[in-house]
Each structure stands twice: as structure tokens, then as C-alpha cells.
Structure 1
């Protein structure tokens, strides 16, 4: 906005006052005149609107205070500064009704010009700051999106290191991501889960889910890829993948010097997704709510996907069989509320399984 070409509306019911103030300002500004509150409000509806209003407080019928309130109540005119003209100074009342400043009547030319110039400069500065803020927000959004995409790529790269060494596929990672998200959204209004399952935390869970088996990178191929039943000693080694996964995420947290929801969920899921609700799982033998919420969701998602997937050592079970097996494990292997949530979103689970089937690549 060029201040020298700014539009100033002067509102006064006395013609001689309008002529006088017009002569004070017309050299610097484009001046518009109104002799009533209604006329002023009508002018303010037309574009281009005035950049500033000089308004007599004591207008008849619709006084200046009412005019100012109406201007401030509309998003189109709320930011336009209003300078009140008062014969009897009452600055408190003027500011309470939204005035930017007050000038005493009779008006002195030097005072009016100084106040108008000041407030037009202030408005110009605010508009520049707003533009700079919007530009900065846009840049931050672009950088945040780029960092988010890089993070997603790194998560998939790390998670795939473990999955491709075993019998899993990349689609297994996608499926468990979406299963966990579906369970979380179903449980969002449940009293046991609502405090933690905010939209932001659900997004963090979605990102963290693929890292559940990252610790398997440290398991020897002879054990990880063995098609036969593991010996007790081999199983003890296999169980260490939860510890290795936890330590990998914890090392990242220590290196950064802080944690966040994504890292916390990734660590919890990696370490505790093999725990069972009755305390018979590993590595800690946790039970009930002592098992992190994120791990309880992953337990259901991971087992369901394992059941419906074909492996060299087992056929794929049907969806119905998998659902029944998980239902039977409610309260023993699985959190009953998470199982109930799964049964409620059963069709969504089927849709996810079909959308990201191994055959679909």
C-alpha cells in the first residue's frame, strides 16, 4: 500500500467541518466524505475501501460509536483503523468501541495530519508483517513436508532391512500400519484410551508401526530363516529382537537428547509387542495396562496379519479363522478392548488386507 495514495474517509454531519478537514488532508490522500453514519457504512461496502476512517463520535441517528462497532464486527473492515473526533474527550469510551485514536474538536490540521499519517504507517507495517509471516509459514510448511517425507523414507528403509531378511514383504508393513491406525481411531472415544489417542498421536503410531521388528536385523539368519520349529535356545535368541529394537530407538533418543511421540511409540512397539495381556509374553512378562498402549494395538495387528499370510512353514488362514483365533485370545494374549475394537472394524481390516495384499505388490 502506498501511503501517499491511501484513501481516507471523513465522517461528520457538519458540511463546513467536512470541507475544512478535506482541505487538511487532500494533498496527501484520496479523501472521501460522508455526512452521516449510514452514508459512511454504505461507502465502506464498496471496493476499494478506505484505508482509514476519521469519524465524528456525535453523529445524529447512527452515532460514531455504533458505526465503529459495525465496522469492527465485519471481517472485511475490522482491520481498518478508526480515529474518533470528540468535542468532549472521552478516550476510554472511544477505545472500548474499537477506536485506534482520538482527536479533539475543533480539529487542528497538524494534529489530524500527524495522527492519520501515524496510523496509516502502522497499518502498512502490520500488513507487511502479515505478508512476511504468511511467507514464513509457507516456507516452514514446505520444509516440514520435505522433512516428513525424508523421515517416512528412512522409516521404510530401516523397517525393510528386517522384513526382507525374513518372510515378510513391504506390504506387511503397510498393512500393520493401517490396522494399528484403524484400531486407534475406533478406540479414540474409549475411556481407557481417549486421553492418549489424539490425532497427532495416531499419526505418530502410524509412522512408528513399521519399526516393530527392526530388532530382527541383529538375529542370525540360521535362526531368523529357519523353517522348522526353533529350539528353546534358538527361541531365546529370537526373543532378543525386542531388546535390540528397543535399544536401536533408545540410541536415537540419546543421540538427539530428547524424545517425541513417534520415537516413544517406536521404542514401545519394538520392545513390547510380544507381551501378552495375561503376563505370559516376553521380554518382561508385563500384564494388562502395564503393557504400553501402542504395543497392545500392535500385538493384535501383527498377529492378525501373520495369521492371514502364507509362510513357508504355514498356510494362510482365512479372515474368519484369524478373527476367531484372536477373539479366543481376548483377555489372555490380547487386551479385550482392543479385540472388541478389531471386531467392530472387521470390514476395514478386510479392506486393508485386500488393498495391500502381497499379490498387489
Structure 2
């Protein structure tokens, strides 16, 4: 029995007491805590408590059958996702389609084989763990983000930009063995943690409404090292959580520059992890097109110009090429998730004067 199974509760729904107890016994053998409901109406009351991650329901029941229960769960459940497995003696295609159309995640025919049911439940468990992981990561990122002035949908935009860039690069021959679906999902999940180290930066520096002095800038740059060290420690403590490795790379290296003039380590070229090079472009585009206490928002066109001109110095030329292919998609996301309307900045607002990229 693993720790996840101990914490996951399964609701068994069947109007046949013998069938229900058989399922409940199987749950105990699999290592899951379970409870029994006699029909859909009783089950719905249990589901609304938010205590059950998985529901295994018979289809044929009085008052509220399994199909109706599934529809109610999908329409009303607001306590997180509930994984629904329908169990039925019918195996015709129409019945299966009806159940899946109602929102069921899986469908098992009676009589069920215990090993098969266990594997189906584990599939649901993995999905729920994935959801919990995403929520935890994003909550951590939002907490760090709340200390900065990068409010609104900054993190939502960053992860969408990163996903776009990865999807494009994954079609290029040189990246097909590097960027796959797992890589894209990992960068989508972990890119919001890029500035988590800012929780350790003093307010007098982090929230300063203007240019930073050299001393203040040096303090600000520490957030990359702090964030990277923190996530590396977590990754080493939980080596099975491979996504934490990417989170560490992003936090540590998204301020490195292609020409070696970035921080905290002065890495250059392909010595910078690809994830850091991708987030660098996404983060700077978002910084340029967003309003901050120390700068107004730039127009999309101005941001594109700056990134294009920084190819080979600040940014990986390949990532910039991908960005230029996708610039219209970036504009769409910026409009859909934007906080303010950008404008075309004059010469006094070019990088190196008012804008801070830390």
C-alpha cells in the first residue's frame, strides 16, 4: 500500500448490497479507503463533501442511475475533479458511448476482474495526482508573484507562451529527440516558478518604482540563485519527481544570456538549459508588453523589435526564430490574458534606461 492510496477515498455506488460489499472489499485489498452508497442520490451527497477522488458506480440503479449520477457530478462538483468509473453488465457500444458522453472517465463490464479494476483505479489516481501537482505548483508561483508588481495574468501568459514555443520547436529536426509531450507539459507546469526566488528579495528593492542602483540590482539578481537553490534542494530530496529538475533549471537560468553576460553564473550558448532559454524569451516579451510601477507597457510591435534585435546576444537565435513564427499567436494571448493595453514606447523607454529585466 503506498502513501497516495492511503489518502485516496473511493466511493462505491451500487443498489445490490452484495455487489457493493464485494467492491468495497476489493478496495480494501487494493489499499484504498472506501464507502458505500446505495444509489445515485445518496452518492451525490457523499461526492459533494469533496472527500472522494474516485467514484465506481453501477449503471442500473433506482431513483438516480449511474449515467444520471455522472452528469450531476460533472454539472455540480466544485471540490476538484472526481474520476468516475461506470460498472455495468451491458457491453454494447451504445451503452459505452452514453456513459462516456455523460462524463465518465472509464467503463468496466461485469463481471469485473480485480486486477483490471485495480489498474483502472490506478489510472484515475495518476490523473488526480497530476491535477494536485499542477495546483500546488501554480499556488506556489502565485504566492511568489503576489510580492511583486507582476500582478494579473502574468503567470498564465508565461506558461502559454512557453507551450507555444515548445510546440513549434518540437517540429524542428534538431529538437525532435528533446522536446516531446512530457517536456511540453513539464515546462507548462513549472515555468510559473521562474521567479519564485523573489520571495527573498527585500521590498525596498523588489517594489522600488524606478531604476535600481547597481547595489540594488545586485540584490535583485540574487533571486535566480535563491530560486534555483531552493528547487534543486527539493528535486534532490524527491528524485522521483523529475519535473522538479526542469523547475530548478528554469529558476536558475532564465536570466542567463546567449552571449554569456547574464546571471547568476554567466553561462552562454547551449550551456544554458533549453528550458531556461525558452522561458527567457517568454518572460521578456511579457515584461515588455506589461505595465509595471517602473515602466509603461510597450506595444506588441515594439516588443517584437527588441527581441529580434537581441537575437544572438540576449536570446538563443533558434528560440527567437520560433518566436517570430509565432508572434501573432503571442499577440492573441497577450490580448486574451492581458492586464493593460500596450503603446509604442519612445527612445527613452528602451532597455537599459527605464525597463528592468531582473
* Superposition TM-score, scaled by structure 2 size: 0.62
User: How far is the alpha carbon of 1:359 from its aligned partner?
Assistant: 6.1
Q: 1:240 is paired with a residue of what secondary structure?
A: helix
Match of 1:322 among 298, 303, 308: 303
Match of 1:140 among 108, 114, 122: 122
Give the aligned length.
Answer: 234
Unaligned runs of 5+ in 1: 1-126
Q: Is the 8 A contact 1:163 1:170 kept in 2?
A: no
The answer to whether the aligner puts 1:276 opposite 2:253 as a matched pair is no
Unaligned runs of 5+ in 2: 1-108, 342-358
Match of 1:342 among 320, 323, 326: 323
Match of 1:151 among 122, 133, 155: 133
Q: How does 1:34-45 map to 2 (within 5 A)?
A: none
Of structures 1 and 2, the larger Rg is shown by 1
Match of 2:113 among 100, 118, 131: 131
The answer to whether the aligner puts 1:189 opposite 2:171 as a matched pair is yes
Match of 2:185 among 186, 189, 203: 203
Match of 1:250 among 220, 232, 251: 232
Q: How does 1:1-361 map to 2 (within 5 A)?
A: 131-260=113-242, 262-358=243-339
- Structure 2 Cα separation of the partners of residues 359 and 328 of structure 1: 24
- Structure 1 Cα separation of the partners of residues 325 and 113 of structure 2: 48
User: How far is the alpha carbon of 1:142 from its aligned partner?
Assistant: 1.9
- Aligned Cα root-mean-square deviation (Å): 2.0
Q: Is the 8 A contact 2:196 2:251 kept in 1?
A: yes
Q: Is the 8 A contact 1:160 1:170 kept in 2?
A: no
User: How far is the alpha carbon of 1:348 from its aligned partner?
Assistant: 1.1
- Structure 2 Cα separation of the partners of residues 204 and 130 of structure 1: 35
Q: Is the 8 A contact 2:210 2:293 kept in 1?
A: no
Q: 1:358 is paired with a residue of what secondary structure?
A: coil
* Superposition TM-score, scaled by structure 1 size: 0.62
User: How far is the alpha carbon of 1:191 from its aligned partner?
Assistant: 3.2
Per-residue CA distance 1:74-95 (angstroms, 9 max, x = gap): xxxxxxxxxxxxxxxxxxxxxx
